[in-house]
Chain A
Amino acid sequence: MTTRNGPQKAARFEDTDSARKVIARLGRRLESVEPVITFRPKLPKRPAR
């Protein structure tokens, strides 16, 4: 039996399908969340004309 925090899930550490399913189970919890991205706009050195 797999529990949410259980060891069985941790054992499936390197498996694309399992990882995908784990994220899919989060369902609507993801709806209001924007993804983490590293893009950070830089300020221009001079104001644009």
Chain B
Amino acid sequence: MSGLALASLTAQRRALARRTVSALELAEEHLVRIERLEPYLNAFILLDPDRVRRAARAADRALARGDAAPLRGIPIALKDIADERGLPNTAGSALRLKVVPTRDATVVARLRAAGAVFVGRTNLHEFAAGTTNANATFGQARNPHDPGRIPGGSSGGSAAAVAAGLAAGALGTDTAGSIRIPAALCGVVGLKPTYGRVSRAGVVPLSWSLDHVGPLARTVADVATLLAVMAGTDPRDPTTTAAPLRLGRGGPVRGLRFSFTDPYFHRDIDPSIVSALRHVRYLLIDAGLREVKTRIPMVAESGSIQYLVARCESTAVHLLDLVPARAARIGEEVRARLALGRDISAVDYLQAQRARALLVAETDAALEQSDVLIVPTTATGAIPIGATHAVVAGRRQSQRELLVRFTAPFNLSGHPALAIPIGVDGNGLPISLQVVGRAYDEATVLRVGAAIETALGLDLVPALARTA
């Protein structure tokens, strides 16, 4: 065994390029780890080891020819919601067990063309419509830091797989926080890019105007590598943009401005997150960034705006799934959530979209005054499986409120938001912050994220992952 499974994607690339490890050896190491840890984590919905070995052998042949594709031979996990030709795309639902696409989603095609070896299709909250990853058909995905707790969702299997060293990186989707929440709870890095940066074509939608596709990995640099592959215009997705990505090799952060912004983001959160944010503030000032004050008053209404927009759009997306004969096969919780849009009028939807425009304008204005916003990703670390509420900062809060209230505003606004670990809570579970930047300015977001990551120097490998 190469011992590379818990190393960064960047280190794995280097080892493959130097031929100190073969793609097949790297794939075998991941397959062994998956076999050992999957009974604890349930991170995958579909595994096909022979297919993985075939892809790895093909990668080795390409590497032997001097092929320098950026992900050649790198084990990548795909959330089971993006089309991968020849394999079922269940979107986590019993309704789609027999849906086998003949064509890759655009983002999957881009990862494949870059040489990725797909190690498996990861577990998710059914239809990506929830944050706990309690899946009625495929079972609960579990947190590698404590298998009695949720990994977050909806991309919970992706985050658990990356945290446990079962993949070097993963594809996720994010409608209200579904990349960033599981990244936070599992102690990995997750990026929701700018709306339009990564094609959604071939990815099962949940809410058209809020859905984003993006990467999860163990380091900020790894996420940047994956984003560079995933991003780009796509005639199959008219919302994609030709805005240049301009990802450099880091660069200085001195002189940039940061803001902890609206008090909304700092109320009723776990004290460990308060302390960690305070520590990060000192680190950023030490690194030469300047703190400025900003406000986004409309963020107080973001929960209501998100609720009305997301519920309407997801009901429309799944309208044909909600006829009685089909609806009975959807998990009870998700079925109820998907049906909520029926009680919301078109006028309510449009009024919410107008309020959303105010939120976008205020967020843009805050990002005129500050280069990045620094806010918590969630209000708590991972909560126990089955918990509907938790008392955090002395207040009983619902799991949904605890997990999505700081992430959803940036699905509404479309701004890029990077979740990175900043320590652990009183239970030893990961906690996280978001670096939010201007539209299409993922480069600055990643630069600041990398600076925080370097300054903190955390090692959040789960104990379970070290034993595999």
Contact = CB atoms under 8 A, between A and B. Distances in A.
B401 A23 contact: no
B197 interface: no
Interface in A1-33: 4-5, 7, 9-16, 18-20, 22-24, 26, 29-30, 33
Contact of B307 (A5, A7, A13): A13
Interface string B327-366: 0000000000000100110001011111111101000000
B344 to A, nearest CB: 6
Contact of A23 (B209, B263, B305): B305
Contact of B238 (A26, A35, A42): A42
B300 A9 contact: yes
Given A11-B398, A35-B356, A19 B268 contact: no
A11 to B, nearest CB: 7
Contacts of A35: 350-351, 353-354, 356-357
B102 interface: no
Contact of B311 (A10, A12, A16, A40): A16
Interface residues of B, number: 38
A45 to B, nearest CB: 11
B397 A33 contact: no
B40 interface: no
B53 interface: no
A48 interface: no
Contacts of B246: none
Contacts of B405: 10, 13
Contact of B301 (A7, A16, A23, A36): A23
A35 B263 CA distance: 26
Contacts of A29: 358
B267 A36 contact: no
A2 B443 CA distance: 40
Contacts of A24: 351
A33 B297 contact: no
Q: Does more than half of chain B's interface fall in helix, strand or loop, or is it mixed?
A: helix
Interface in B268-294: 268
Contacts of A26: 301, 351, 355, 358
Contacts of B398: 11, 13-14
A5 B300 contact: yes
Among A5, A16, A23, A38, the most chain B Cβ lie within 10 Å of the Cβ of: A23
A42 B234 CA distance: 12
A44 to B, nearest CB: 14
B304 A23 contact: yes
Given A7-B267, A37-B353, A23 B348 contact: yes
B395 interface: yes
A20 B397 contact: no
Contact of B308 (A7, A20, A36): A20
A23 B412 CA distance: 15
Contact of A30 (B209, B263, B268, B354): B354
Contacts of B262: 5
A36 B207 CA distance: 13
Nearest to A24: B351
A26 B300 CA distance: 12
Contact of A36 (B238, B340, B348, B357): B357
Interface of A: 4-5, 7, 9-16, 18-20, 22-24, 26, 29-30, 33-38, 40, 42
Interface of B: 208-209, 238-239, 262-264, 267-268, 297, 300-301, 303-305, 307-308, 311, 340, 343-344, 348, 350-358, 360, 395, 397-398, 400-401, 405
Given A34-B357, A36-B353, 12 more contacts: A5-B267, A7-B267, A7-B395, A9-B303, A10-B267, A11-B401, A14-B398, A15-B307, A16-B340, A19-B305, A30-B351, A35-B353
